[in-house]
Amino acid sequence: MNVFIVYAHPDAKSFNHALKDVAFETLTDAGHRVTISDLYAMDFNPILSRRDFGKPPGDRQEDLEDQQDDDRRDEGIQAEQEKLKWCDFLVLQFPLWWFSMPAIMKGWVDRVFTMDFAYSKGLWYNEGMLQGRKAMLSITTGGARHMFTASGIHGPVDEILFHIHHGMLFYVGFQVLPPFIVWQPGRFPDLERKRYIEQYRQRLLNLESIKPISYPELEDYDANYQLKPGSD
């Protein structure tokens, strides 16, 4: 299996970094092929700009130089897209910041999941252009597990992650596995860290047997994109 890990944490001493290393070691030892995009190490530019949509070169030298800069930048985006086409399984590794992913990873999604590459008219959700692949979030939180429940102050974690699971990954065709979540790693002892590391190893060794999250498919909706009666 080809596994693509996109990692976003600025601190090499973080538990996120440890999880990324464990994933590479575990999957490689199991015979899988793994590639990693370390967004902070790559100094990835997360800002989607007008230039990302292309522009015709003008007749001034400055215009030509701008166009050449565009071409070089596009090569970086194309390289990330090639990794997505290559992979069978995508792992997004990041800390939960402001109930979402870090800006650098959101920018990666903005710039890499482009129209006519990841989705197009009528080619979205289960018909998305990256269908046939699976994806999973591996995240850490600053809050405890009980805070991310229906009665907890933050609300259910599944609702918090819905915009990523459904609105980004499933939108472009991925089958989305339940997330691997480490709760408050900065507040527990080494023994608890080791327990989480072993749990993650076991999750990674059993990826192909884990049932994806179930979402309604396009055929379950009517012409106005409303669920048909009887559809879940």
| Domain at 2-220, CATH class | alpha beta
Domain ranges of the chain: 2-220
* pTM of the shown model: 0.89
pLDDT tens, position by position, for the chain (232 residues)? 999 999 999 999 999 999 999 999 999 999 999 999 999 999 999 998 887 876 555 555 455 445 444 544 578 999 999 999 999 999 999 999 999 999 999 999 999 999 999 999 989 999 999 999 999 999 999 999 999 999 999 999 999 999 999 999 999 999 999 999 999 887 777 788 899 999 999 999 999 899 999 999 999 999 999 999 977 6
Query: Which residue is listed with tokens 């194309």?
Result: 78
205 Cβ partners below 8 Å, 6+ apart? Answer: 26, 30
- Asked if 147 and 153 touch (Cβ cutoff 8 Å), the reply is yes
9-14, long-range: CB < 8 A, 24+ apart: 9/40, 9/93, 9/94, 9/95, 9/102, 10/40, 14/95, 14/140
